[in-house]
Amino acid sequence: MKVRYWLKGILLFFSFFTLSLQAGEHTLTIDEIIELTLKHSPDIDNSRFDFEAAKQRSKSAEGFYLPSVDLSANAGKQHNGFQSHSTNIDLLSGTLGASQLLYDFGKTSGFVGSTKEETLAYQAQMEQIISDKIYDVKKAYYDILKAKSIIDVQRKNVKLQEQQLNRAQKYLLSGIKTIIDVSDAQVQVEQAKLDLENAKYDLELRRAILEELIGLVPYNGNYRLYSKKLSLPNLSRNLPAIRISLGKLESFAYTHRYAMQSTIHSIRGAQSNVETSKGDYYPTLSVGANYTAQHVDDSGGLPLPEKQGQIAVQMNWNLFSGYQTDAKVQEAKIAVLKASSQQQAVKLAIKRQVVDSYIGVRRSKKNVNLSESIAKASLKKFDQAQKRYENDLSDYVELQDAQQGYIQSLSNLVTAYYDYYIALAQLDHSIGK
């Protein structure tokens, strides 16, 4: 009796300890994981830095529209040598100069426009990287849920194998079955335990992949992912369906995919570069002014002005540059054609991705339905095999085949179920949703 109470006390202690650990464990939903990823992912940070740098380049380019103001100062001695005498003059002067671009036939406006389109292209690339990261996180999330469900299936397998071992041992003691059935059952128990351990290792790997995508380990690893309990084998009842045609999905993708938007800005930027290159054919008009104030001692006896200033309109025109301008213009035009070709390639790639994802969703849903039917049929077959074995109408091999077929059908069903949600995430990603 004392031993029994002692064992109950130990069990109660471990139950309380387990509940305490679960109470301190944080449950994360897919939305919370995505939020963490947007804050901590190094890939997203790097793309954000590229975008911020492009914004500064655009801001720098706009500075060409504004006047340039320069201040210079000089202090020293000036020596003048003549045939009859020489002089040394103490000199202190300062000059304030300013220049303002008036018109350059599109060179500056084209350059500014090009940097703005480059900034928008980097922004679209950043958004596309974020979209890619969200899909990767969703896939990793469902892979973890899949791995956890596979563990549950493998635990069920261990339990069935242990029950079969106990049954075989009882049959041996009763003289109904031979010792070979017990040996086979022992082998199957160990194999089931090995499969369970491998499933646990796979779960650890999946968690590490998710944490790498997030950019940190949430709550120092003390977390679990939110998931609904699966009711095996009935999983096909509440699967979300697609109610949008393939054509509408493609149209949506062309408008909302950031990769497509990036190519649009690349084309516009290349067109602006053409205007910049053409501007070298024409003059640049600007206005310049400067004002100089200086203090000179009287020892030199030379009349030097203390203040002077000037303002003038300037024109700079390169009349011939050895065909460099022609080559730059042609190169810029080729860049436009290249950007347009890349846009067409991206459009075709998007179409292929949408079609592939759309077919993938339909295929995955069909796989769930068929896997569910197979799982239900395998369960019936396993029940029949157990009865045949108990009544000495079949051997242990037939029973094991039926049992393993049932366990494999459950694993396939779990895989198909979560693959369907991964397919939905891939479809959303392909259309830019």
State the pLDDT at residue 82.
Answer: 63
Q: How confident is the model at residue 231 (pLDDT cuts 50, 70, 90)?
A: confident
DSSP, residue by residue, 351-403: HHHHHHHHHHHHHHHHHHHHHHHHHHHHHHHHHHHHHHHHTTSS-HHHHHHHH
- Tokens encoding 9: 């006390």
DSSP, residue by residue, 274-291: HHHHHGGGS-EEEEEEEE
State the pLDDT at residue 102.
Answer: 87
State the pLDDT at residue 253.
Answer: 94
- Element containing residue 198 per DSSP (H, E): helix 179-214
Q: Tell me 323's DSSP state.
A: T
Mean pLDDT of 358-380: 95
CATH of 26-67+104-283+324-431, one of 3.10.450.50, 3.40.50.10490, 2.40.50.140, 1.20.1600.10: 1.20.1600.10
How many angstroms separate the CA atoms of 332 and 339, rounded?
A: 11
pLDDT in tens, 35-88: 999 999 998 999 999 999 999 999 998 888 889 898 888 887 766 666 666 666
Asked whether the beta carbons of 92 and 295 are under 8 A apart, the reply is: yes
pLDDT in tens, 233-288: 898 888 888 889 999 999 999 999 999 999 999 999 999 999 989 888 889 888 98
- What is the rounded (10 degree) CA torsion for 171, 177, 183, 184? -100
pLDDT in tens, 378-425: 999 999 998 888 887 888 888 889 999 999 999 999 999 999 999 999
State the pLDDT at residue 108.
Answer: 87
Asked whether the beta carbons of 97 and 290 are under 8 A apart, the reply is: yes
Asked whether the beta carbons of 196 and 154 are under 8 A apart, the reply is: yes
Q: Which residues contact 310 (CB under 8 A, 6 or more apart)?
A: 289, 290
Write the single-letter amino acid at 314: Q
pTM: 0.82
- Tokens encoding 289: 């002014």
Domain ranges of the chain: 26-67+104-283+324-431
Asked whether the beta carbons of 348 and 403 are under 8 A apart, the reply is: no
Task: Identify which of 196, 239, 213 has the alpha carbon closest to the alpha carbon of residue 419.
Answer: 239
pLDDT in tens, 322-360: 788 889 999 999 999 999 999 999 999 999 999 999 999
Whether 4 shows a pLDDT value over 60: the answer reads: no
State the pLDDT at residue 9.
Answer: 54
Q: Tell me 218's DSSP state.
A: G
Write the single-letter amino acid at 89: I
User: In angstroms, how far is CA 367 from the centroid of its own chain?
Assistant: 28
Between 181 and 411, name the one with better pLDDT. Answer: 411
Asked whether the beta carbons of 308 and 300 are under 8 A apart, the reply is: no
Asked whether the beta carbons of 428 and 217 are under 8 A apart, the reply is: no
